[in-house]
Amino acid sequence: MKNLLLCVLCCVFTRLFAQNETADHSLSPYFLVKTATPNVDALPLKSTIADVKIAGTIADVTVRQTYQNKGSQPLECIYVFPASTRAAVYAMQMKVGKRIINARIREKQQARREYEAAKSEGKRTSLLEQDRPNVFQMNVANILPNDVVEVTLQYTEMIVPTEGVYQFVYPTTVGPRYNNPQNTGKNNAFAATPYLKKGEATPFVFDIQVHVNSGVPIQNIHSKTHWIDVSQSDYYHAVAKLKNEDGGRGNKDFVLNYQLKGEHFQSGVMLYEHKDENFFLAMIQPPKTVKNDQIPPREYIFIVDVSGSMNGFPLNVSKKLMRNLINNLRKSDFFNVMLFSGGNSVLSEKSLPATDENIQKAIQLIDYQQGGGGTELLPAMRRALALPRTEKGLSRSMILVTDGYITVEKESFELIRNNLNQCNVFAFGIGSGVNRYLMEGLAHVGQGEPFIIENDSAADAQAEKFRKYINTPVLSQIKYKMEGFNAYDIEPLNVPDVMAERPIILFGKYKGKPSGSIVIEGYSGRKLIKQTINVGQNVADAQNSALRYLWAREKLRYLDDFNQDNSDDSTHIQQVVDLGLKYNLLTAHTSFVAVDETPVVDENGKLVTVKQPSALPEGVENTAVGADFSFEEVFEMGSRLPSFMWLGFVLAAAVVFIFTRKMF
């Protein structure tokens, strides 16, 4: 009866204040439904341990996932987990007892066929697939009772300093994704991942250790997300480990920041020779930010996510951020506010001048919001782009504030790419497990900047960064050319404006001996800046072998990550497959598969499939995954509503209570 009462109550409650909502919560991830059979409930993931080695600006990461079947039947485990959006995954192996099986890279469908065949033949087998550039799925089949299976994957990525701060991010959990049944996005099966309830401890151990090695003294190494112990054997080497009391905190991104003493970055070139291909990486430090008091008026369209996953902490942080951004608009600026969940609404059909009255009206609108409903980002962005302009020639910027828990990332990128002449896009990701793929992708195609706010204290600092970046780019109208350096296959083809103080990075290949120079030109304020880097003074180093993977990953980033146009084109798919197979990389169309050829389950053996539940990101409410609420949670949410809504909520609850009393 309690469940029936809560169900009816929540339906009535939703109708009271969620207008035009079309969200289908049946498609949201739900918690693992436990049955009376304890061996089905056995969760085989035992631990996830990451070992990180950072040398200069390149991180090499080894992730070990240990699975143990504590039940009485053979199991298949399906586990969805995140990684960095820039991760180049280049190796996987499976260890069973003393046997080590190195995985092979295969075309995605071929890898799936090999995995399914091995599974049906009763062999231990594992499969690693990419659902998104930052979302992977691991399948491990035929785990016998008491079996311990260890799967190790390795990836490398670049760490690019911003304003002298190096930041390494290790995502620990995939936030829940809203998936509209009518969207055309592919590979959204991971959206059905089960989730633990808010505050429920992860059933597996999470641990991470980061080794930093630099030719320049390391200083100010710290984490604002986890409690860590830091040890330094000398000025150039540091090790960061999780403290015991913070072990198992696999419900939020692990973020490590550090700085280098003195000049935090030097322009330069790294070289690597590999058989018939040579690779280079050029890093060019732009000038310092210039001051410019003659900033023209701007128009800002703030698009704020008020869906169910934003309820509580994320929305509270968003409100703080919005108060800061709107209150600091200049009198000459114009602005508008759009709120979206399943539907969307705007403060005004036309942007308003930033008067005290209009600012107060906008802040009051935002302060009244409570999270609820789906996350229909695409309709909101289309409507924002279609809003009439206040004045011709006024520079327009769209500022998206969201946790990014959607499945239509590529569709969003394509929408912005097709309207690039309309506005720039700045994305604020709110929460401890933000969808960084969406945030970074929107900023990339919109020639803006992504900002991640993991906690309440970071909101004001990120708002200040936003104002600094948007007022005056560090370097604009950037062009590069090669003088006497036989380079080709250079990524990116075009360098967007540099909004922050961080290096310009070029990946590429070269022929012959390294010689000549790389020339970068651009405008710093109104002054033309020219920088030249001598390539010939550098020597190819075998320790730079990661450049091969990093170049291929950067190629994929522009070819596939942010590209919707050709995602179903056979020629495009074959290009991705060829890159993945040649450079041994996990991609959207290539996967790693490992098979232990010794059968352990006969053809009549029963195999139970268990979906490993992911941790709900810290600060995210159960509303993000359509979970059942307790009476205390429901009334606590209602108490935060305006008085007229709260009164309606109480009356609805009374009607339902009387109705159920008569029924029972």
Structure-token pair, residue 460: 């004001």
Cα separation of 114 and 220, whole Å? Answer: 48
Question: Per-residue confidence at 296, pLDDT binned at 50, 70, 90?
Answer: low
Give mean pLDDT, residues 47-62: 92
Residue 636 pLDDT? 45
Q: Is 138 helix (H, G, I), strand (E, B) or coil?
A: strand
* First-last CA distance in the chain: 8
Q: What percent of the chain has pLDDT over 70?
A: 74
The predicted-structure confidence for 391-428, as pLDDT tens digits, reads as follows 765 778 889 999 888 888 888 888 887 776 677 788 89
Residue 593 has pLDDT above 90, yes or no: yes
Structure-token pair, residue 477: 């109208």
Q: Is 533 helix (H, G, I), strand (E, B) or coil?
A: strand
Question: Per-residue confidence at 476, pLDDT binned at 50, 70, 90?
Answer: confident
DSSP characters over 424-479:
EEEEEEESTT--HHHHHHHHHHTT--EEEE-SGGGHHHHHHHHHHHHHS-SBEEEE
- Give the range with max mean pLDDT: 22-26, 445-449, 577-581: 577-581
Dihedral (C-alpha) 12, 377, 365, 429: value to the nearest 10 degrees? 110
Least confident of 190-199, 202-211, 383-392: 190-199
Give mean pLDDT, residues 592-619: 71
Specify the pairing of strand 277-284 against strand 268-274: antiparallel
Residue 19 pLDDT? 35
Residue 567 pLDDT? 55
Q: Is 272 helix (H, G, I), strand (E, B) or coil?
A: strand
The predicted-structure confidence for 65-102, as pLDDT tens digits, reads as follows 898 888 788 888 888 888 888 899 999 999 988 889 99
The predicted-structure confidence for 5-37, as pLDDT tens digits, reads as follows 444 444 444 433 333 333 333 222 222 323 334
Other C-beta atoms lying within 10 Å of the C-beta of residue 295: 13
CB within 8 Å of 583: residues ≥ 6 apart? 90, 548, 549, 552
Cα separation of 557 and 538, whole Å? Answer: 27
Residue 195 pLDDT? 46
DSSP characters over 551-607:
HHHHHHIIIIIT--TTTT-HHHHHHHHHHHHHTT--BTTEEEEEEEEEE-S-TT---
Give mean pLDDT, residues 499-528: 86
Beta carbons of 445 and 562 less than 8 angstroms apart: yes
Residue 58 has pLDDT above 90, yes or no: yes
Residue 198 pLDDT? 58
Least confident of 71-85, 330-344, 424-438, 628-642: 628-642
Q: What percent of the chain has pLDDT over 90?
A: 35
Residue 251 has pLDDT above 80, yes or no: no
Q: 26 phi and psi, to 5 degrees?
A: -65, -15
Is-above-0.75 flag for pTM? no
Give mean pLDDT, residues 530-552: 91
Residue 304 pLDDT? 94
> What average pLDDT does the structure give for the chain?
79
Give mean pLDDT, residues 579-588: 94
Residue 362 has pLDDT above 80, yes or no: yes
Is the omega angle on the peptide bond into residue 492 within 30 degrees of 0, that is, cis? yes
Beta carbons of 494 and 480 less than 8 angstroms apart: no
Beta carbons of 629 and 622 less than 8 angstroms apart: yes
Residue 31 pLDDT? 25
Residue 197 pLDDT? 52
Element (H, E) at 633: helix 631-638
Question: Per-residue confidence at 185, pLDDT binned at 50, 70, 90?
Answer: very low
Q: 527 phi and psi, to 5 degrees?
A: -100, 130
Residue 439 pLDDT? 87
CATH architecture of the domain 298-471 equals 3-Layer(aba) Sandwich (3.40)
Residue 210 has pLDDT above 80, yes or no: yes
Residue 570 has pLDDT above 60, yes or no: yes
Residue 505 has pLDDT above 50, yes or no: yes
Residue 16 pLDDT? 39
Residue 9 pLDDT? 45
- Half-sphere exposure in the Cβ direction for 116 (13 Å, CA): 6
Residue 464 pLDDT? 84
Between 282 and 572, the more confident residue is 282
Closest by CA position to 542, among listed 155, 272, 276, 278? 272
Least confident of 173-182, 477-486, 543-552: 173-182
Between 41 and 123, the more confident residue is 123
Cα separation of 70 and 43, whole Å? Answer: 8
